[in-house]
Amino acid sequence: MKMADLRVVIKIAELQSITAAANQLDISSSAASIALKRIENEVGAALFVRTTRQLRLSSEGERYLPLCQQALDLLQQGQQAINDERQSINGEVRMAMSSEMGRNLMRNLLNDLLAHHPDVTLRLHVSDTRVDFYRDGVDVALRAMIAGAVNESNFYGFKICNIPHFLCASPQYLAKHGAPTRPGELIEHNALLYKLYNVTHDTWLLLHGKQEHKIKMTSNRACNDGDLVRRWCVDGVGIAKKSAIDVAQDMLAGRLQRVMPDYQIPLTELWLVLPSRQMITPAIRLIRDELKQKISALRVQLINNKTLAEHEWPTDE
């Protein structure tokens, strides 16, 4: 049932004339008649008694039209509430994210947001360790997670996107050491490893069709800061396993190149996570929408640059 049809029917009842209602609504009389017919077909009853001289509400119409008016009023109130909400982007946002996201992608995004919405204040918790919402005083966290992890938790969240990962190295490193083409050749190269909670992620899982390859990497350095691992990679001291989001600008600028593109790494997902639905504010919705747009643009750039094939970065659309 269309809201526009309901408005036509209510106007017909008000003016007791299809022609007069059509003139006020700036539509043709035939369009008004069709709108009325659609509503009557859906209701299953004639809403008006038509004679050659007048048009008046039927008993069914007398019961139905006041409820329609109430429904339209509520819908208009809801639309107004959304419009008011969009106008009032304000308040404090206490947000947690990884060091890499904070320094690169989110820094510029949040700068733009505060420039356009001066009533928003920002309190960031930037760390590669997972925050406790209540202990650390955080309202929302940006997290990379395995598929289904949010559903298994007690948190509420907005999925931002899928995240592809790949192996990468600088042109200087590849010119000096050569580019590996098979999993077995990786052990001859220096891996730049990420370390979290005293666990060094030195086993890399690669997929090739239905085959899985787990490679125990050798390395002369590891770090609990993902952005430092990325910078080491740009410096040309080894091969890293990184997310497409974190190294997108390096790939587009030619500072890094993809290694072994025929082998895939399992996708993860990027989520905005909150301890409850009640914590959602207009500012957080705006951050969600801006982040989706920014990452979608990165995806298109990497695909156009032929760094990634389209199927390697699936969307939820």
Model confidence, pTM: 0.68
> Per-block average pLDDT, block size 10, for the chain (317 residues)?
82 86 87 88 87 82 86 77 65 90 89 91 87 85 77 74 95 96 94 87 92 94 92 97 94 96 93 86 91 93 93 83
Unique residue bearing structure tokens 């007398």: 62
Q: Which residues contact 107 (CB under 8 A, 6 or more apart)?
A: none
Confidence (pLDDT) at 152: 47
Question: What is residue 133's predicted lDDT score, i.e. its pLDDT?
Answer: 84
Q: Which two tokens stand for residue 72?
A: 């339209």
Q: DSSP secondary structure string, 154-221?
A: S-EEEEEEEEEEEEEE-HHHHHHH----SGGGGGGSEEEEEEETTEE--EEEEEETTEEEEEE-EEEE
Q: Write down the pLDDT at residue 65.
A: 84
Rounded Cα gap, residues 84 and 282, in angstroms: 10
Q: Find out whether 183 and 263 touch, Cβ atoms under 8 Å.
A: yes
Q: How far is CA 151 from CA 129, 159, 271, in A?
A: 21, 11, 11
Kindly list the distances between the CA atom of residue 38 and the CA atoms of 34, 46, 50, 66, 79, in Å, as whole numbers in the listed order: 6, 11, 17, 18, 24
The pLDDT value recorded for residue 246 is 92
Ramachandran angles phi, psi of 284, nearest 5°:
-70, -40
